[in-house]
Amino acid sequence: MGSIPTLPRLLGLAGLLPQIACVAVLYAGPAEWRDPAQAVAFAYAALILSFLGGTWWGIAATAPAAERRHTLGWVWIAAVTPSLVALACFLPWVLGWQWPEPSLVMLGGALLVSLGVDARLGALAPRWWMALRVPLSVGLGLATAAAALA
């Protein structure tokens, strides 16, 4: 992670703290904190997944005009997918189905799969992009899965 500028590195790593705190509460906290911790873990994972889509949208929007017109259709589609996945994960709660464990598993998996989009961005993203994205997506994806299994 040494090639990553200091501020994105520190802020990115700090972004793992809310999920780590939720997992700690789920495994070692009082029983009455369990439901709120699961809800916060779900909300945070869904927010960050949607945020990733926004970053991809921004990267596509700042690409050279020729690339935007001819080769980036897949990025625009990928950019809206995380918000739709997050919404789909929210529906079981709204509809009274089993929640939150399956939704947390799906969000954790989506965070891990997001690395595929990050990798395909190639030269459009900063040189240090994957060095930042891998530990953050793996960390948050696994923490979200750990919240589901608690």
Look at the block and give the residue holding tokens 């809310």: 18
Average pLDDT over every residue of 118-128: 93
| Region class of 12: left (phi > 0), else alpha (psi between -120 and 50), else beta | alpha
Does residue 12 sit in helix, strand or coil?
helix
Write out pLDDT tens, residues 60-74.
Answer: 888 887 666 667 788
Whole-number mean pLDDT of the chain?
94
How far apart CA 129 and CA 118 sit, in angstroms, is: 8
Average pLDDT over every residue of 88-97: 93
Tokens of residue 126, six digits: 């900063």
Q: Give the model's pLDDT for residue 66.
A: 66
